[in-house]
């Protein structure tokens, strides 16, 4: 093995790899025989390695296939519990909310994809090799998998007298898998045809747009819902159970929404392409970015709540209060942005901030009552007032600030009012939000909330103020030194103890807090890497042209630091998403817990664990792999890799 | 210049709220006080709430029988809470060390496979890395656990395979190599052997440098250790006297008066701040004498002085128990050591026991003589090893690719053989790039062993959870976790830093 | 002092001008190392002062103290009547009156040339964007690269980048410009384009302090040349005096090495 290792880091080859990675399109295509000789059998060491790898691959593949298609697998456990895996016990009658939210995301995704239309292409050669590879792999899988067990007329396995299983003969197996054969051959032929037509030397550069390849794939997937007999699993509300009928296509309530999703995605993509060229392109881009930012919270809120408004209260309290804050706050901001306000403006802003913070302290101790909305509004107003000097002078800019304030007030008051009214969505149990929905909810919220906190911590750690540095560093290092599970347990068990009398925090909220604080420490380290890459000259130049520390940070330092740390930040998002699986340990019903504990406890699927966990693994893999591939693509396009 | 006399400048001190230094330090002190205040407030709340619910936060449970059984470890039926947590720590460390060892080997192999010029190996490596690092570790652990749980049941009539290994739904049983009487005395011999071997290695290197002939320094040092180890097998009983030394040390420590230790700690606290201030003043001194100290400097010194005095007061007045605790634990430590080296331990240092299947209760299970890996251990072990090795593979690959092409070309131009170029040029540079992220991965692996809680392997978190479920002492248990994991992190980063400093390329 | 004549000559031309920068006994330490040892000098309004000297002589440190990129520990610095103290307001004022051009350009690589120039006018001077952009384009015209406004700094040559940096400083309408070795990081063929811009600036009557090794520039443009070594001003004089008849041995040695 020693010899083999040394052979594998052959310096000359290293260069070859670098070349290949930097410019994947430039490798000349070789005839098959030559390719094999060069890549698999170049020396006797290499041939031995190929043989060894081949055996390894063979047994691994065979093991996986035999596991997945074994007669012992009860995939019905997963199929009938798909809905539980996705949303746990979300009420059937309210499901339309989920679909509407998903539809919104699909539309928004399509719109954004259309607006940022420059997605680049994927070379025909890659598509064809991919098709051939998939076809070949499929064919190999069909051959490698052991012959199926013979089932008797009652659907049970047939055993010989000694008790061993009876399997069909190899030839029978190959014949019975004819549909797979056909699929493999179709893929192979398609690949070869593409290769022959386009991948010759003259067409080497030709590319297919990435978006059309993706849409084609999605379209085929949705089409298969209407054609392929995946099995019909209908939920019978009376008995609260599923009726399974194999051999049919999936239920109408599944295939219709997905078709609509695809339609939305495609049509909004087209719309985005149209708008991109219009004069409002930039504006719409900004709007869609803003929508991406606010949609997670809003959508989850749509899914989880259906407030029944008390109109009396709305008219007597909510509306006047919103108007008052909008008008008075707007007036304050308008006057603060007059030219020549000077020091007085800062003083007013600071006093406002003090008052707003005092309100929260008072809330904590319960000194005097105040609507939460008012507290939030005062805090926001204080922040706006602190920002006011930046909008000073010109009428247009002052108007911008005031209009922004009105918009924020309207949004916040609307959301706060809605959140504070009781919901009509029937909550069946405490674990009503669960499954993949919970996982995504937690991941999104944690990523969104930990971002600003992480940036602040990173700034603190690189600050030239020793006490800030000390505080941030010790926070970051302590958090990074302990495992997430201990932090989560600490928060889910201990947070109730830390709160004063009369204040309560739901377990989910406590866990979210803990997870956010944890994630922020890691994020801070990633951002710090970016901050350290910024040269001293940038700081000096910013100082020399007279920017304040806050302006320097937000216009010069952070934009550059965050761009540099995009790869690490994406990595952080992926690991945050992966670690949401730990919710299963502390008693929340995420989809891993559903697969690991809920399904195996059902009477008809007692102890059936592996199928569910495998599905969970595949879903996690799909998300993470897609994100990381996308980020690599982004990196290459931004040119980060070249530094 | 003499002709243009410097104009007189009218000095005025700016008002304090516009003074850079004052504002800077005021903000910082305010932030510090807010943080301390918030922490104090939370601690007080927690204390009040705990008192109200009648759960005092003390560490008494450490010496009380918790009445719990552990699934695996050096002691599955611990008689005190402290012992239970200790077993958990040992289990965590076992898992971490074994995991780090195996994950490094697997990771390096896969990383090299990804760089191989063999297409098949490269693809296999890619599939391995991409699959394992994109699936959450917990999902993997649960999956492996579920697979192991579906293995054949253990039964009395199925004996160990070949008398050495046995695999079933209870886990894996292997021969156990364990410490016996005399091990610690033997370790002293080994220690002397290490010392001698290092000496020999240096001598050999010096010889090689002088004569130019290959003297195999590492190999001969290794041989020396083996020889001394075998020799020690027979002579180790003569080191029994070490036990007496430790027991007299123990009584000496317990004879120290508490007041002395207390004063010493307070003195240390003040002394540290004085030392810092002196060093600071020294660093501000210029050849021309004491330089003008800025306001900033005064603030720093005031800060250090206040900290020192506050620390001294804290140790003297608020925490008098610390000194007795230090004395007790010091004397206990020596007591334990003296027992380990007790006289008359003349047995073999190391023993081997084969696995066995016994039936104590209703179901047959593995007996205590073999080295048993429970399903939980196996699941967590495979989980952390595969998961971490995927990351290590990427680090190895990245590290080797990070060595500039020019280096290999330069080595080739000098006529170095490929193996020498690798050993002397490529790998040292790659290792420098690889080491910090590798240390990070080791740290992650150690922390990730805490997921053992999901499959019921008795690591520190799982044991801790059981203990606080029994006793309600959540806060103390959490503090022990934190302390334990922070010590692990610190040790790993100390080791990594040590190598990092040694490998650093000197730059100006 | 024998430099009196030359100094007087320079002072004659600028005699009726206001003092723009006054430094008295400025000290600066880096730990044990004293970078500035009692530097005393007065720069008049509209004067072009060139500071030269061997590397490590404290030239850059001195001009960096003037807009407080470094904090001086002893002595006083007064710029346009504002004393440089711990007072936040004074620091703000001086920073917006003093422009600085760096050796490494220090343009903001994530902003376009236009945004680089308009950033400070918009956010510090609170100018409307349209006005700031118009001024920025005019300045780009003045430094000779009006067509590069929409590009990013990374797409420009070194000389063009340095000219953008000059335009960025000018956009704040400073009364004083500090140049910290503006041509040292440039390829030889680009030095001239930057020096031309600086000459044009010098003619326009703005106060300039220039740390440079470009003796041709100094001879042509400077009102006074200051020679520094070991943290002290060794010799001050008009270009004629300095190049033809230096009095101090250290100056002679330096000139013999550099010319």
CA distances, A371 to each of A106, A376, A415, B181 (Å):
37, 9, 14, 72
A439-460 average pLDDT score: 92
Residue A394 contacts C, CB cutoff 8 Å: yes
Of C110 and A344, the one with more pLDDT: C110
Calculate how close chain C gets to B287, using CA atoms only, in Å: 7
Asked if B389 contacts B415 with a C-beta cutoff of 8 angstroms, the reply is: no
Chain B residue with the nearest C-alpha to that of A583: B138
Domain total for chain B? 3
User: Please, what sign has the CA dihedral across residues A406, A407, A410, A413?
Assistant: negative
pLDDT per position as a tens digit, B328-358: 888 888 888 887 776 555 677 888 888 777 7
Q: Do B3 and C91 touch (CB under 8 A)?
A: no
**C49-99 pLDDT tens trace:** 999 988 888 899 999 999 888 888 888 899 888 888 888 888 888 888 899
Q: How far is C132 from chain B (nearest CA, A)?
A: 30
Chain C touched by A554 (CB under 8 Å): no
Q: What is the mean pLDDT of residues A423-429?
A: 51
Main-chain dihedrals φ then ψ at residue C78, nearest 5 degrees: -125, 125
C98-101/C82-83 β-pairing? unpaired
C70, closest residue in chain A (CA to CA): A540
Lowest mean pLDDT, pick from A39-48, B249-258, C164-173 = A39-48
CA distance A330 to chain C (A): 20
Using an 8 Å CB-CB cutoff, list chain B residues near A496.
49
Q: Report how far apart, in Å, the C-alpha atoms of B97 and of each of A519, B73, B142, B240, B449 are.
A: 26, 15, 21, 30, 11
Chain C residue nearest residue A337, CA to CA: C126
Q: How many angstroms separate the CA atoms of A438 and A426, rounded?
A: 17
Closest CA to C65 of C89, C37, C104: C37
Q: Shortest CB distance from C106 goes to which of A541, A546, A555?
A: A541
Calculate the average pLDDT of chain A: 81
Report pLDDT for A15. 39
Contact B135 A617 (CB under 8 A): yes
What is the structure's pLDDT at B218? 84
* Helical H segments across C34-128, by residue range: 59-66, 88-97, 113-123
B40 part of a folded domain:
yes
Residue contact A545–C99, C-beta within 8 A: yes
Does A20 score more than 60 pLDDT?
Answer: no
For residues B442 and B348, membership in a common domain is answered with no
Q: Are residues B248 and B313 in the same domain?
A: yes
**Quick one: tokens of A608?**
């059936």
CA distance to partner chain B, nearest, from residue C145 (Å): 38
**Chain C touching partners, 3 or more CB pairs below 8 A:** A, B
Comparing B41 with A3, the larger pLDDT belongs to: B41
**CB-defined contacts B:C, below 8 A:** 72
Pair of tokens at residue C88: 């936040």
The pairing of strands C33-44 and C19-30 is antiparallel
Would you say residue B360 lies in a domain?
A: no
Question: What's the CA gap between B256 and A628, in Å, rounded?
Answer: 61
- pTM here is 0.81
A611, two tokens: 């199928």
pLDDT of A446: 92
Nearest residue, CB atoms, B118 vs list A6, A50, A616: A50
The pair of structure tokens assigned to A255 is 């295939």
CA distances (Å), origin B433, targets A15, B198, B404, B503? 18, 28, 12, 10
Q: How far is CA C182 from the centre of its chain?
A: 9
What residues in B contact C40, CB-CB < 8 Å? 1, 6
- Which residue, among C71, C24, C51, has the nearest Cα to C251 in the 3D structure? C51
Condensed to tens digits (0 to 9), the pLDDT of residues A309-336 reads: 677 777 888 888 889 999 999 998 888 8
Contact C88 B9 (CB under 8 A): no
**Number of residues that this document lists for chain C:** 259
C7: tokens are 């100094």
* Domain shared by B145 and B243, yes or no: no
Report chain B residues whose CB lies below 8 A from the CB of A486.
450, 461, 478, 481-482, 485
User: Phi first, then psi: what are they for A608, rounded to 5°?
Assistant: -85, 100
For residue B448, which residues of chain A lie inside 8 Å, CB to CB?
483
Residue A100 to chain B, least CA–CA distance (Å) = 29
pLDDT band at A2 (very low <50, low <70, confident <90, very high): very low
Q: What would the 3-class secondary structure string for B148-172 be?
A: HHCCCCCCCCCCCECCCEEEECCEE
Contacts of B228 (CB under 8 A, 6+ apart): B189, B190, B192, B193, B196, B197
Provide the pLDDT for residue C15: 67
Structure tokens at C204: 């326009």
CA of residue B209 relative to chain centroid, distance: 37
Most confident of A202-206, A368-372, B95-99: B95-99
Do the Cβ atoms of B145 and B379 come closer than 8 Å? yes
Q: For residue A358, give Cα distances in angstroms to A351, A354, A365.
A: 10, 6, 11
In a domain, B498, yes or no: yes
Yes or no: say if B116 and A16 are a contact pair by the CB < 8 Å rule: no
**Residues of C in Cβ contact (< 8 Å) with B14:** 85-90
pLDDT value, residue A642: 36
Angle between helical axes of A319-336 and A395-420 (0-180°, round to 10):
160
> End of a domain among B353, B387, B416?
B353
Are residues B295 and C86, on separate chains, in Cβ contact within 8 Å? yes
Question: What value does the mean pLDDT take over residues C4-29?
Answer: 73
Chains interfacing with A (3 or more CB pairs < 8 Å): B, C
**Residue B403 in this model has a pLDDT that exceeds 90:** no
Distance between CA atoms of residues A393 and B309, nearest Å: 52
- Nearest Cα residue in chain A from B135: A621
Assess if residue B69 is contained within a domain: no
CA separation for the pair A239, A37 (Å, rounded) = 63
User: Which of A442-451, B233-242, B412-421: highest mean pLDDT?
Assistant: A442-451
CATH 3.30.390.30 fits domain A428-643: no
Q: Residue A547: its chain C contacts at CB < 8 A?
A: 119-120, 123-124
B100 falls within a domain: yes
B365-371 long-range contacts, CB within 8 A, separation 24+: B365/B154, B365/B170, B366/B154, B366/B166, B366/B170, B366/B171, B366/B173, B369/B176, B370/B160, B370/B166, B370/B173, B370/B174, B370/B175, B370/B176, B371/B173, B371/B174, B371/B175, B371/B176, B371/B177
pLDDT tier at C7 (50, 70, 90 boundaries)? low
With a cut of 70, say whether residue A16 has pLDDT above it: no
For residues A554-572, average pLDDT: 90
Distance from CA of C173 to the nearest CA of B (A): 25
The H or E element containing residue B289 is strand B289-290
- With both helix axes pointing from N to C terminus, report the angle between B81-115 and A11-22 in degrees, rounded to the nearest 10: 90
Q: Tell me, what's the pLDDT at B379?
A: 92
pLDDT above 80 (res B253): yes
The conformation of residue C87, written as its DSSP 8-state character, comes to B
Q: Which two tokens stand for residue A279?
A: 């004069």
Residue B398 included in any domain: yes
Contact indicator for A265, A109 with CB cutoff of 8 Å: yes
| B210 and B94 in a common domain | no
Query: Which of A291-295, B71-75, B187-191, B198-202 has the lowest average pLDDT?
Result: B71-75
In angstroms, the CA B349 to CA C49 distance is: 83
Q: Span A504-532, mean pLDDT?
A: 88
Rounded to 10°, the helix B137-149/B375-401 angle is 140
Beta bridge partners of C179: C101, C210
Question: What is the arithmetic mean of pLDDT over C226-230?
Answer: 90
pLDDT in tens, A480-506: 999 999 999 888 887 777 776 656 667
Inter-chain residue contact B287 with C71, CB threshold 8 Å? no
Q: Kindly determine whether residue A546 and residue C107, on different chains, have CB atoms separated by under 8 Å.
A: no
Percent above pLDDT 70 for chain A: 86
Out of C40, C74, C85, the one facing B292 most closely (by C-beta) is: C74
pLDDT in tens, B45-74: 778 887 887 776 778 788 887 777 777 777
Give every CB contact of residue A247 below 8 A, 6+ residues apart in sequence. A229, A231
Distances (CA, A) of A297 to A166, A304, A445, B275, B465: 55, 10, 8, 54, 33
CA distances (Å), origin B118, targets A39, A110, B484: 5, 41, 44
Domain that holds residue B252: 176-353
Which residues are registered as beta bridge partners of C22? C42, C78
Cβ contact C120–A393 (<8 Å): no
Going by C-alpha positions, the residue among A616, A569, A577 that lies closest to residue A595 is A616
The whole-angstrom distance between C254's CA and the closest CA on chain A is 29
- Average of per-residue pLDDT across B398-425: 84
Buried b (16+ CB within 10 A) or exposed e, A544-557: bbbbbeebbbebbb
d(CA A438, CA B289): 67
Tokens of C229: 């070594």
Q: What is the mean pLDDT of chain B?
A: 83
B3, B7, B21 member nearest C7 (Cβ)? B3
Residues B241 and B192 in one domain: yes
The position carrying tokens 């239970």 is: B84
CA distance B420 to B411: 9
Q: Do B381 and B478 reside in the same domain of the chain?
A: yes
Chain C residues at the B interface, defined by Cβ less than 8 Å, are: 1, 3-4, 7-8, 11, 19, 22, 24-25, 27, 29, 31-32, 34, 40-42, 71, 73-74, 76, 78, 83, 85-91, 233, 236
**Smallest Cα–Cα separation from C39: which of C48, C31, B208, C49?**
C49
Task: Map tokens 């050669």 to a residue.
Answer: A125
Q: Provide the β-strand partners of residue C226.
A: C51, C236
* pLDDT at residue number A106: 92
What are the CA-CA distances from residue B20 to residues A537, B27, B40 (Å)? Answer: 22, 11, 30
Q: Are B151 and B182 within one domain?
A: no
Smallest CA–CA distance from C92 into chain A, residue = A546
Q: Give the phi and the psi of residue C60 in degrees, each rounded to 5.
A: -65, -40
What is this model's ipTM?
A: 0.88
Measured distance CA(A132)–CA(A128) in Å, rounded: 6
Shared-domain flag, residues B315 and B260: yes
Say yes or no: B382 and B248 in one domain. Answer: no
Place of tokens 């406004």: C149
3-state secondary structure of A470: helix
Other Cβ atoms closer than 10 A to A37: 13
Minimal CA separation from C73 to chain B, in Å: 7
Q: What digits encode the pLDDT tens for the residues A525-556?
A: 999 989 988 999 999 999 998 888 888 999 99
Q: Are the Cβ atoms of B19 and C27 closer than 8 angstroms?
A: no
Q: Do C40 and B1 touch (CB under 8 A)?
A: yes
* Alpha carbon separation from C119 to A315, A552, B431, C124 (Å, rounded): 45, 10, 44, 8
Residue B189 and residue B301 in one domain: yes
CATH of the domain at B112: 1.10.3720.10
Same domain, B153 and B196: no
**Whether residue B186 is found in the same domain as residue B160:** no
Helices (H), B236-294: 241-254, 258-284
Residue from B481, C96, B17, B144 nearest A484 by CA: B481
């Amino acid at each position: 093995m020693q010899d083999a290792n040394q052979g594998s880091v052959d310096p000359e080859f290293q260069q070859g790899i670098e070349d290949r990675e930097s410019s994947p399109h430039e490798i000349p295509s070789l005839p098959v025989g030559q390719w094999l000789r060069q890549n698999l059998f170049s020396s006797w060491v290499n041939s031995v390695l190929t043989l060894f790898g081949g055996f390894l691959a063979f047994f691994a593949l065979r093991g996986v296939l035999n596991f997945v298609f074994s007669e012992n697998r009860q995939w019905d456990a997963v199929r009938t519990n798909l809905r539980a895996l996705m949303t746990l016990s979300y009420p059937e009658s309210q499901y339309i909310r989920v679909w509407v939210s998903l539809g919104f995301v699909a539309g928004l995704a399509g719109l954004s994809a259309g607006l940022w239309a420059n997605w680049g292409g994927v070379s025909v050669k890659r598509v064809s090799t991919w098709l051939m590879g998939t076809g070949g792999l499929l064919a190999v899988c069909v051959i490698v998998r052991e012959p199926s067990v013979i089932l008797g007329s009652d659907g049970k396995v047939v055993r010989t007298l000694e008790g061993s299983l009876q399997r069909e003969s190899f030839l029978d197996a190959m014949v019975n898998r004819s549909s797979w054969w056909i699929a493999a051959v179709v893929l192979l032929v398609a690949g070869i045809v593409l290769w022959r037509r386009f991948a010759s030397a003259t067409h080497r550069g030709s590319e297919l747009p990435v978006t059309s390849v993706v849409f084609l794939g999605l379209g085929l997937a949705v089409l298969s819902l209407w054609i392929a007999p995946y099995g019909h699993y209908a939920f019978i509300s009376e008995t609260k159970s599923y009726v399974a009928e194999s051999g049919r296509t999936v239920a109408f309530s599944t295939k219709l929404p997905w078709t609509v999703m695809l339609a939305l995605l495609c049509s909004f993509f087209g719309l985005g392409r149209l708008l991109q060229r219009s004069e409002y392109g930039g504006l719409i881009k900004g709007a869609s970015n803003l929508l991406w930012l606010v949609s997670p919270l809003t959508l989850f809120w749509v899914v989880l709540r259906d407030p029944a408004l008390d109109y009396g209260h709305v008219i007597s309290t909510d509306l006047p209060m919103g108007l008052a804050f909008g008008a008075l706050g707007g007036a304050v901001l308008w006057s603060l942005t007059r030219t020549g306000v000077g020091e007085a403006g800062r003083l007013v802003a600071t006093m406002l901030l003090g008052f707003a913070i005092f309100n929260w302290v008072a809330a904590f101790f319960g000194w005097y009552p105040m609507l939460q909305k008012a507290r939030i509004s005062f805090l926001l107003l204080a922040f706006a007032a602190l920002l006011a000097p930046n909008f000073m002078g010109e009428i247009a800019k002052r108007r911008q600030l005031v209009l922004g304030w009105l918009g924020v007030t309207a949004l916040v008051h609307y959301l706060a009012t809605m959140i504070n009214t009781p919901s009509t969505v029937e909550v069946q149990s405490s674990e009503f939000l669960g499954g993949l929905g919970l996982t995504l909810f937690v991941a999104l919220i944690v990523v969104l909330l930990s971002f600003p906190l992480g940036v602040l911590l990173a700034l603190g750690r690189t600050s030239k103020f020793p006490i800030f540095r000390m505080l941030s560093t010790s926070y970051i290092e302590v958090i990074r030194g302990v495992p997430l599970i201990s932090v989560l347990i600490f928060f889910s068990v201990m947070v109730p103890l830390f709160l004063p009398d009369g204040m309560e925090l739901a377990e989910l909220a406590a866990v979210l807090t803990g997870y956010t604080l944890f994630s922020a420490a890691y994020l801070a380290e990633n951002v710090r890497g970016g901050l350290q890459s910024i040269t001293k000259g940038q700081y000096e130049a910013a100082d020399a042209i007279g920017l304040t520390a806050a302006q320097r940070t937000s216009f010069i330092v952070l934009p550059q630091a965050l761009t540099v740390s995009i790869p690490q930040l994406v990595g952080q998002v992926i690991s945050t998403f992966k670690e949401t699986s730990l919710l299963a340990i502390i008693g929340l019903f995420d989809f891993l817990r559903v697969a690991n504990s809920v399904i195996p406890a059902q009477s008809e699927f007692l102890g059936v664990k592996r199928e569910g966990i495998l599905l969970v693994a595949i879903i996690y893999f799909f998300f993470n792999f897609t994100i990381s591939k996308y980020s690599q693509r982004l990196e290459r396009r931004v040119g980060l890799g070249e530094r | 210049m003499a002709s243009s006399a410097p104009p007189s400048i009218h000095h005025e001190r700016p008002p304090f709220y516009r003074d850079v230094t004052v504002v800077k330090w005021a903000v910082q002190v305010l932030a510090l006080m807010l943080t301390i205040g918030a922490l104090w407030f939370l601690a007080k709340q927690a204390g009040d709430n705990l008192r109200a619910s009648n759960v005092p936060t003390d560490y008494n449970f450490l010496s009380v029988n918790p009445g719990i059984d552990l699934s695996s470890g050096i002691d599955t039926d611990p008689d005190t809470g402290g012992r239970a947590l200790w077993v958990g720590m040992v289990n965590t460390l076992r898992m971490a060390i074994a995991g780090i060892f195996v994950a490094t080997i697997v990771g390096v192999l896969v990383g090299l496979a990804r760089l191989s010029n063999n297409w098949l190996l490269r693809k296999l490596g890619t599939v391995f890395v991409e699959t394992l690092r994109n699936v959450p570790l917990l999902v993997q652990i649960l999956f492996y656990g579920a697979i192991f749980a579906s293995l054949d049941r253990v039964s009395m009539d199925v004996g160990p395979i070949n008398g050495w290994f046995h695999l079933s739904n209870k886990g894996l049983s292997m021969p156990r190599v364990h410490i016996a009487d005399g091990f610690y005395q033997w370790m002293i011999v080994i220690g002397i052997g290490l010392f001698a071997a290092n000496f020999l290695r240096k001598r050999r290197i010096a010889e090689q440098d002088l004569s130019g002939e290959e003297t195999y320094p590492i190999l001969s040092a290794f041989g020396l250790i083996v020889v001394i180890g075998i020799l020690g097998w027979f002579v180790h009983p003569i080191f029994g006297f070490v036990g007496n030394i430790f027991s007299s040390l123990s009584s000496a420590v317990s004879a120290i008066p508490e007041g002395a230790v207390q004063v010493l700690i307070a003195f240390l606290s003040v002394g540290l701040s004085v030392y810092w201030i002196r060093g600071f003043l020294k660093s501000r001194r210029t050849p021309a004498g004491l330089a003008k100290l800025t306001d900033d400097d005064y603030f720093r010194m005031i800060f250090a002085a206040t900290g020192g005095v506050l620390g001294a007061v804290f140790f003297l007045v608020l925490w008098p128990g610390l000194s007795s605790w230090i004395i007790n634990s010091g004397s206990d430590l020596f007591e334990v050591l003296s027992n380990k080296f007790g006289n008359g331990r003349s047995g073999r240092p190391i023993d081997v026991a084969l696995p066995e299947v016994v039936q104590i209760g209703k179901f047959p299970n593995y007996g205590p003589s073999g080295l048993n890996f429970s399903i939980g251990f196996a699941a967590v072990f495979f989980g952390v090893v595969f998961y971490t090795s995927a990351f290590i593979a990427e680090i190895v690959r990245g590290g080797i690719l990070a060595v500039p092409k020019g280096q290999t070309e330069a080595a080739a131009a000098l006529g170095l053989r490929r193996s020498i170029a690798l050993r002397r040029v490529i790998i040292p540079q790659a290792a420098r790039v690889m080491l910090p992220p590798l240390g990070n991965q080791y740290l992650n692996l150690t922390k990730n062993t805490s997921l053992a809680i999901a499959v019921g392997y008795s690591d520190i978190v799982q044991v801790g959870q059981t203990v606080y479920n029994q006793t309600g002492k959540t806060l103390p248990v959490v503090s022990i976790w934190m302390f334990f994991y922070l010590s692990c992190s610190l040790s790993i980063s100390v080791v990594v830093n040590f190598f990092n400093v040694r490998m650093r390329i000197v730059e100006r | 002092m024998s430099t009196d004549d030359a100094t007087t000559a320079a002072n004659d031309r600028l005699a009726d001008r206001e003092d723009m920068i006054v430094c008295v006994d400025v000290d600066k330490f880096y730990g044990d190392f004293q970078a500035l040892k009692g530097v005393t000098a007065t720069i008049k309004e509209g004067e072009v002062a060139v500071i030269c000297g061997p590397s490590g002589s404290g030239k850059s440190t001195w001009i960096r103290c003037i807009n407080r990129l470094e904090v001086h520990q002893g002595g006083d610095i007064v710029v346009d009547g504002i004393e440089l103290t711990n007072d936040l307001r004074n620091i703000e004022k001086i920073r917006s009156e003093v422009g600085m051009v760096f050796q490494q350009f220090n343009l903001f690589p994530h902003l376009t040339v236009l945004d680089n120039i308009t950033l400070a006018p918009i956010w510090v001077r609170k100018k409307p964007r349209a006005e700031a952009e118009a001024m920025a384009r005019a300045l780009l015209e003045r430094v000779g690269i009006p067509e590069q406004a929409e590009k990013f700094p990374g797409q420009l040559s070194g000389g063009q980048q340095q000219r953008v940096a000059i335009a960025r400083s000018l956009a704040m309408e400073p009364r004083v410009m500090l140049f910290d070795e503006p041509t040292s990081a440039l390829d030889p063929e680009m030095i001239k384009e930057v020096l031309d811009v600086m000459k044009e600036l010098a003619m326009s009557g703005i106060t300039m302090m220039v740390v440079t090794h470009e003796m041709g520039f100094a001879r042509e443009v400077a009102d006074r040349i200051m020679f520094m070594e070991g943290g002290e001003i060794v010799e001050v004089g008009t270009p004629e005096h300095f190049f033809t008849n230096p009095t101090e041995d250290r100056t002679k040695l330096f000139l013999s090495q550099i010319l």
